[in-house]
Amino acid sequence: MSDRPEILSLARLEYSPYVDDSGMIPESPFQGKVGVYAIFDRDRVLQFIGYSRDIYLSLKQHLIRQPQHCFWIKFQTISRPNRMILETIKEAWISENGRTPPGNDTDETQWTQPIDVKPLMTDEERTAYDNAAGEELAQMKLLKKVSRRVEADILEQLKSRGVQMELRFNPKLKETGLLDLK
């Protein structure tokens, strides 16, 4: 008997809401589960396919990084972490989709890396940052301020969608101009 799980067709999997009626990412099917997941936007257009040792934690990160694209999810779990199996499922789903989703192509960094707030600076913030060149502490304080502004924007966007879960950002990263969950 083979240890390799059957690769479920993406088309045959059910859509699950990314955020449930209580404003939370459902813990029960995802928390602590190893698997592959496909994220869809409001119109159910595939945006990203990823895999994780804990799908729930990954979904939280994606929600803050790309809140405008996280509305529906399809997933397949496996019993034990195995990168080869996870990659095989991911590639099968991308192939089945007929084209690479933007989150696995041109927008991959935006889905998989902490949010860099530097490109989101206002002209005023950019000028203040550039004027503080050579003053590490002043630049760090400004990056922290910009990070807090961007964080507030993200949280407001999520609140307007009815998201109720507590999302804590890593305070140390803010000093470097990056936002990610703790």
- Helix (H) / strand (E) element for 49: namely strand 46-52
Same structural domain for residues 64 and 33? yes
What's the pTM? 0.92
Same structural domain for residues 28 and 101? yes
- Is the model's pLDDT at 66 over the cut of 80? yes
Lowest mean pLDDT among 28-32, 91-95, 102-106, 144-148: 28-32
Same structural domain for residues 15 and 104? yes
Domain C-terminal end among 50, 76, 108? 108
Same structural domain for residues 140 and 103? no
Which residue range is the domain that position 38 belongs to? 10-108
Mean pLDDT of 146-173: 96
Same structural domain for residues 40 and 90? yes
Torsion of CA 57, 180, 49, 25, to 10 degrees: 40
Q: 50: pLDDT confidence band, cut at 50, 70 and 90?
A: very high
Same structural domain for residues 21 and 84? yes
Same structural domain for residues 75 and 95? yes
- Is the model's pLDDT at 5 over the cut of 90? no
Domains in the chain, number: 2
How far apart CA 111 and CA 157 sit, in angstroms, is: 17
Same structural domain for residues 72 and 149? no
- Is the model's pLDDT at 101 over the cut of 70? yes
Same structural domain for residues 44 and 100? yes
The domain spanning residue 42 has which CATH number?
Answer: 3.40.1440
Q: 2: pLDDT confidence band, cut at 50, 70 and 90?
A: very low
Mean pLDDT of 29-38: 95
